Amino acid sequence: MKLDIYQKSGKKSAKKVTLNEEVFGITPNKHCVYLAVSSEMASIRQGTHSSKTRAEVSGSGAKPWRQKGTGRARVGSIRNPSRVHGSKAFGPKPHKYDKKVNKKVRQLARRSVLSQKVSENNFIVIDNILPETPKTSEFSGLLKNFNLTGEKVTVLTDTMEENLYLGSRNIKNICVVPVQSASTYDLLDCQMILANEASVEILNKQLS
């Protein structure tokens, strides 16, 4: 599969890049995409929430009155969950939310998202995506040349250059990701993917 390579000005160059059919031309597997994204979202959760049990809440642990003979209901503690200032019944405790997803499933999910983006013409390859200066205006001009101003864009690069990071960090909805660590969610959560030629070669080797 061949794909046109564009210049920064937004015009097509004479060169084309080869896309591996196994990576960019498969039928998307939506269930694998769901599993991968669900795992990524779960791993972000801190899981540090905690409530106090009757052993941890402040207050006396003594039995308020004797078990029988008072005419009142039996009570073992003034800090049980049914009383004011008592503990929390079955409250949350710190735990992990990690969901294990097999490596082959994660790779299939990434290939599915990339194939969908290419089939919908939402994947653009640029010959040189690195700006010459760290100015935001230069990167904004690049987006304007491709009519992507205000769009949600994921930028894939083989090397995280300082000018690219500084020029894009103040623009809303722009995510610059090293292609080696781009997750399924990074590829999916955008309207357009911009990549340089080196990034495509890395994806061809990494996911084939």
Give per-residue pLDDT as tens, 80-107.
Answer: 999 999 999 999 999 999 999 999 999 9
**How many angstroms separate the CA atoms of 84 and 73, rounded?**
16
Count the Cβ atoms, other than its own, within 10 Å of residue 158.
Answer: 17
Q: What is the pLDDT of residue 1?
A: 84
Q: Is the pLDDT reported for residue 44 higher than 90?
A: yes
**How many angstroms separate the CA atoms of 85 and 24, rounded?**
59
Q: How many CA atoms lie within 13 A of 121 on its CB side?
A: 2
Domains of the chain from N-terminus onward: 2-45+100-207 (3.40.1370.10)
Q: Is the pLDDT reported for residue 71 higher than 90?
A: yes
Per the prediction, the chain carries an average pLDDT of 92
Q: How confident is the model at residue 155 (pLDDT cuts 50, 70, 90)?
A: very high
Q: How confident is the model at residue 159 (pLDDT cuts 50, 70, 90)?
A: confident
**How many angstroms separate the CA atoms of 140 and 142, rounded?**
5
Q: How many CA atoms lie within 13 A of 72 on its CB side?
A: 8
Q: What is the pLDDT of residue 70?
A: 95
**How many angstroms separate the CA atoms of 10 and 71, rounded?**
86
Arithmetic mean of pLDDT, 136-155: 92
**How many angstroms separate the CA atoms of 75 and 205, rounded?**
68
Which candidate, 146, 115, 136, places its Cα nearest to that of 3? 115
For the chain, percent of residues with pLDDT exceeding 70: 100
DSSP 8-class letter at 121: T
Q: Is the pLDDT reported for residue 184 higher than 90?
A: yes
Arithmetic mean of pLDDT, 27-49: 95
